[in-house]
């Protein structure tokens, strides 16, 4: 199933991956764009095949028209989800959101990701997770360089100054700790943590 395939690739990436990408800050527009990827070993995917089991009671339909579903998986075969549901509108705003984009303690780096939930909610949660990891990488790195790009339109050509940061890390043991949805602003938030010894890069600001 598509949910199982996504669970397998996510498990592999969060166990150990090479994460790399570029962050662009457009000074004149106060705009930030990013382009990043996560690569993991094909051997890891072979090893996890057949070892993830659906958690009983976890399958939920998000959109029946587009066949969007979410489902939890576990390394334990007979895990069952409680049938008790929580109204997320009653959940208080977590304090960790105020620490955006990241913070640390003695043993971990914590990244906070956010993304709009106006469209595909499954994509929103996934994108928010990725942004949380990327926020850890870009906050720790210090290798910025400035480039000039040419902006063209029908009426004029301009040159714009852009700051670009390229990052490349070995990341291991990525954990999603908490999630929260802001229903008023249509935003989803994810808190991710990574052990400090499992964030490895020559770009670290030490």
What is the band of 28 on the pLDDT scale with cuts at 50, 70, 90? Answer: low
Please determine, for residue 177, whether its predicted confidence score (pLDDT) is greater than 70.
yes
Which tokens in the block code for residue 26?
């457009």
- Range among 37-41, 128-132, 173-177 rated most confident: 173-177
SS3 assignment, position 154: coil
Please determine, for residue 48, whether its predicted confidence score (pLDDT) is greater than 80.
yes
**pLDDT, tens digit, 9 for 90 and up, residues 93-121:** 999 999 999 999 999 999 999 988 877 67
**SS3 assignment for 9-36:** HHHHHHHEEEEEEEEEEECCCCEEEEEE
Please determine, for residue 130, whether its predicted confidence score (pLDDT) is greater than 60.
yes
- CB-count burial class (<10 Å; 0-12, 13-18, 19+) for 110: buried
pTM for this predicted structure: 0.79
What is the band of 189 on the pLDDT scale with cuts at 50, 70, 90? Answer: very high
DSSP 119: S
Mean of the pLDDT values across residues 37-52? 90
Mean of the pLDDT values across residues 31-46? 79
With beta carbons less than 8 A apart as the criterion, state whether 89 and 63 touch.
no
């Amino acid at each position: 199933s598509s949910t199982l395939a996504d669970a397998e690739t996510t498990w592999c990436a969060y166990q150990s991956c090479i994460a790399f990408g570029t962050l662009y800050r457009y000074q004149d527009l106060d705009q930030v764009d990013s382009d990043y990827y996560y690569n993991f070993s094909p051997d890891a995917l072979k090893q996890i095949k057949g070892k993830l089991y659906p958690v009983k009671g976890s399958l939920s339909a998000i959109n029946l028209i587009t066949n969007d579903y979410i489902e939890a998986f576990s390394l334990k075969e007979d895990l069952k989800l409680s049938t008790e549901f929580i109204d997320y509108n009653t959940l208080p705003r977590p304090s960790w959101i105020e620490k955006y984009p990241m913070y640390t303690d003695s043993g971990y780096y914590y990244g906070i990701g956010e993304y709009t939930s106006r469209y595909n909610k499954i994509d929103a949660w996934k994108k928010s997770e990725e942004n949380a990891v990327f926020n850890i990488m870009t906050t720790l790195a210090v290798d910025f360089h400035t480039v000039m790009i040419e902006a063209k339109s029908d009426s004029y050509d301009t040159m714009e100054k852009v700051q670009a940061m390229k990052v490349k890390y070995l990341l291991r043991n990525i954990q999603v700790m908490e999630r929260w949805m802001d229903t008023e602003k249509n935003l989803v938030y994810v808190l991710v943590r990574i052990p400090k010894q499992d964030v490895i890069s020559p770009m670290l600001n030490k």
